[in-house]
Amino acid sequence: MKQINFFISLLICLGLMFAVSSCRCIEVEPDYPEPLECAPNVIVCNDINQHISDFHTLSNVRVESNNLRFTITASGCDGSSWVVKLITSDFIFDSLPPQRSLRIFFENNEDCLAVISREFAINIECLQVPNPTNSMWFRLWISETEFMLIEWNY
């Protein structure tokens, strides 16, 4: 009886070893395309933290149609020379809806003491990711440790 139990245990162990060794790992890539050609003020890079902005305040952040709209307040003369770019990672969080990190890069070379607010709109259509919800979340990083979530339905 002990020999039969040992033989059955041995067969079970060998069967499990065969089943485990015959499994193959298949790397499945999400069906997320690379971003399309974006406007010149949208930059896709691996490390969005390398783009740190001049001092400014960000407010009224929202998505309207295919545009990310926001207001920047900073010191300056009239704001006409301000440069604003949207930096995004090529990494897309595998969630539903998908998520993507963003950072607004702001460059201000104006040397005046006035405080000015100016609204900007950046076309984000190239950042769409096909998914069943036809939406996505943006993690808009405001500082090194703080971000706001923005929903975009398209």
Does the domain at residues 42-153 carry the CATH identifier 2.60.40.2370? yes
Q: Is the pTM of this model over 0.85?
A: no
* Whole-number pLDDT of residue 79: 93
- CA-nearest of 41, 76, 70 to 58 is 70
Residue 27 predicted with pLDDT over 50: no
Mean per-residue pLDDT, 49-63? 80
* Whole-number pLDDT of residue 134: 94
How far apart, in whole angstroms, are the C-alpha atoms of residue 106 and residue 92? 23
- CA-nearest of 42, 107, 55 to 81 is 107
Cβ(124)–Cβ(67) below 8 Å: yes
What is the arrangement of strands in the sheet containing 115-123, beginning at the earlier edge strand?
57-64, 67-75, 115-123
- 133 pLDDT band, cuts 50/70/90, is very high
